[in-house]
Structure 1
Amino acid sequence: MTRLPVVLGCALAITLATELPAQRPQARSGFWYAFGLGTGWARVACQICRADHRPGVSAYLRLGGGLSRSVLIGAELAAWDRSANGVDETLAGLSAAAYWYPARRSPLYLKGGVGFSTHRAEDGTNVITSTGLGPQMGIGYELRVGSNLFLAPFFNVAYGSVAGGVKFNGAKILDQATVTLVQIGVALTGH
């Protein structure tokens, strides 16, 4: 007899309970944005390049829209910067990408796209610029910190090896170069 009120009370509590913000499904429709900051490694490979990965500060800005609850599309601007041994290096990339969430309620996403990257090295006297177009990919995991705000650790790779080249003080010296950017960091995303 005493079990019935307990069972009914538990059933009523479960029925009337509201979900916590972290339990709500991800709202991925409409406009979205993201800003990421972290570390990155840039590399330029060509016939006359050293082709080593150099660490530096890296960031990105993404804007886009949702095609569905599991697919987002957007434009991305990525940047990398490093100064060492009297040489200032920067890398900038502009790309179009799609972000796929394999499970509707999952915070995991996979990124794929295509972009154009340009690397610039300047020592105060000479400037070497390398460019390339190519694929990019990435992975991230969104952790809810507000109703439509997420912290997302991420890993991205951009690889530009087509339709590029190397210029020395503005004059083209090579028709082929590969520009690579690897990024690891944390982003703030709003849906």
Structure 2
Amino acid sequence: MRRIVFTTLALLALALPAAAHAQDDSTTERRPARPRDRDGDCRCGLREVRDDDGGTSRRRGLWFSAGLGAGSESFDANDGLGWSDDQGGGMVFIKLGGTVSRSFLLGVELNGWARTYRYEGYDRSLGTIMAVGQWYPARNSGLWLKGGLGFAADVYDEYGPGGRTITKNGSAVSIGLGYDIPVGRRASITPLVDIQRQHYDTHDERVVGIGVGITLH
């Protein structure tokens, strides 16, 4: 788990300078020319001051994000033995919603984790659907923090003749962070880290994942 978190922080650290440079270039391109009089002198005054709404924020209207990653799963059977060893698996996510303000997005997120236990003869998957809020501490930065609350499903699927599928339903909460790196007028590449906690009648699940997605604003 520590390796996952450290790897994600390193990705974000590399992404910050690139994103900041891209945003600076965008700001320079969009800055209006200062008005000049007939003699060519700059008429400096209140018109030079940029309104807060004149920033370089790309967030407006509907938004969509989807991507892939890897996640580490562990469970607690509530038997006093604590959490199990981590098991790695693949992760996929889809998010979409609307822009409340340039600092806050609301939406719905579908998230799935899966692993094949070939020698044991079964597949295991965890899925969630959550209402999520995504907050950007700085309006013109790509850094965001996320929180979510919703429903979860734990699916156990055995192979071969006589195999069975067992599905358990529960609740889920999540927190996460990421960074939108602009690659186009309305598109960004988004590295992220996500932590989920799922509760069922018989056990609890924990999934820590890192991933990369494409975000459209």
TM-score, length of structure 2 as denominator length: 0.67
Whole-angstrom CA distance in 2 between matches of 1:25 and 1:152: 18
* Residue number among 101, 112, 131 corresponding to 1:79 in the alignment: 112
Task: Find the residue that maps to 1:114 and give its secondary structure.
Answer: strand
Q: Is 1:66 the counterpart of 2:99 in the alignment?
A: yes
Taking only the aligned residue pairs, the percentage that are identical comes to 33
Whole-angstrom CA distance in 2 between matches of 1:19 and 1:119: 49
Tell me the CA shift for residue 19 of structure 1: 4.4
Tell me the CA shift for residue 55 of structure 1: 0.7
Tell me the CA shift for residue 31 of structure 1: 0.3
Q: Name the counterpart of 2:59.
A: 28
Assess if the C-alpha contact under 8 Å between 1:38 and 1:183 holds in 2. yes
Q: Name the counterpart of 1:100.
A: 135
Structure 2 counterpart of 1:160, one-letter code: Q
> Which string of whole-angstrom CA distances, capped at 9 and with x for unpartnered residues, describes residues 52-100 of structure 1?
3211110100010000000000000001111122221111110001000
| Greater alpha carbon shift after TM alignment, 122-131 vs 135-144 | 122-131
Assess if the C-alpha contact under 8 Å between 1:117 and 1:179 holds in 2. no
Whole-angstrom CA distance in 2 between matches of 1:65 and 1:79: 22
Tell me the CA shift for residue 160 of structure 1: 1.7
Structure 2 counterpart of 1:178, one-letter code: D
Q: Which one has a larger percent helix, Structure 1 or Structure 2?
A: 2
Tell me the CA shift for residue 181 of structure 1: 2.1
Q: Name the counterpart of 1:4.
A: none
Q: Which one has a larger percent strand, Structure 1 or Structure 2?
A: 1
Whole-angstrom CA distance in 2 between matches of 1:41 and 1:72: 27
Q: Name the counterpart of 2:213.
A: 187
* Residue number among 70, 77, 86 corresponding to 1:53 in the alignment: 86
Tell me the CA shift for residue 43 of structure 1: 2.6
Tell me the CA shift for residue 47 of structure 1: 4.1
Gaps of 5+ in 2: 1-27, 32-54
Assess if the C-alpha contact under 8 Å between 2:128 and 2:172 holds in 1. no
For 1:108-119, what aligned pairs fall within 5 Å after superposition? 108-119=143-154
Whole-angstrom CA distance in 2 between matches of 1:110 and 1:143: 15
Task: Find the residue that maps to 1:18 and give its secondary structure.
Answer: helix
Whole-angstrom CA distance in 1 between matches of 2:167 and 2:88: 18
Gaps of 5+ in 1: 1-16, 166-175
Structure 2 counterpart of 1:149, one-letter code: A
Tell me the CA shift for residue 25 of structure 1: 1.7
Assess if the C-alpha contact under 8 Å between 2:74 and 2:206 holds in 1. yes
Whole-angstrom CA distance in 2 between matches of 1:128 and 1:44: 16
Whole-angstrom CA distance in 2 between matches of 1:69 and 1:102: 10
Assess if the C-alpha contact under 8 Å between 1:152 and 1:188 holds in 2. yes
TM-score, length of structure 1 as denominator length: 0.76
Whole-angstrom CA distance in 2 between matches of 1:45 and 1:183: 18
Whole-angstrom CA distance in 1 between matches of 2:208 and 2:111: 10
Tell me the CA shift for residue 45 of structure 1: 2.1
